[in-house]
Amino acid sequence: MQNYDAIVVPGAGLIKNGKPSPWMQNRLDLAVELYSGEPIIPLSAGTVRKPWPVDENGFHRYESSAAADYLVAQGIDYKKIWCDFASLDTIGNFFFLRIMHTEPRNLKHLLIIASEFHMPRVSAITKWVFGYNPPSGGYSFDFKTVPDIGLAEEELNARQAKEKKSLADILQVKQRLSTWQDFHEWLFTEHKAYSAGQKPSREVGKILESY
């Protein structure tokens, strides 16, 4: 079995009861199956696309916390689960992964697990964000895709179309950002989820079921 420095699971939404979505559970199940003692890093605080679920006491439910609870229930030691309580979208997933976890702990060989509908954008963003100022020896990534379980056909079609457009937008932005500093400037002054001067994009219709 391949040894990794960490297994990374990008965020994939919560359902109304505050538990991971079926497609997120599918990702986490593969992480458990492949686990061999390395940290598992579930990503995402939540999403700007719709209101966050709350727990029985009215507190916001973090996606990564819900994923961590799921992993612990599958027998993973909580000390081997490193959460992300900052990111609000897939780009943020990998920015905060890098600055919070991989750089402080010198993690270079990562397994990334994502759903089929999400993987093209996940792989592009991973290579983009980790492509700036790589450490000696660089980073290496393995990408494993799981089936799109739990989404109705109409919901999946809407999300696939959104993913295609978002990937095209990302590739355009990437062309004009030459340095890690450029990326940081763009993220916190132009990106609608992180800039103080922007309003986050909201979603309506069937696509909301995929967030």
* Mean pLDDT, each 10-residue run in order, the chain (211 residues): 90 86 95 97 91 82 95 97 96 98 97 96 97 93 94 88 93 96 97 88 64 61
Q: Which of 173, 184, 41, 64 is nearest to 110 (CA)?
A: 41
Listed by start position, the domains of the chain span 6-150
What pLDDT was estimated at residue 198?
Answer: 80
What pLDDT was estimated at residue 57?
Answer: 84
Could you identify the residue written with the tokens 């959460």? 83
What pLDDT was estimated at residue 54?
Answer: 82
Rounded to whole angstroms, the Cα distance separating 209 from 211 reads 6
CATH number of 6-150: 3.40.50.620
What pLDDT was estimated at residue 208?
Answer: 61
What pLDDT was estimated at residue 122?
Answer: 97
What pLDDT was estimated at residue 50?
Answer: 78
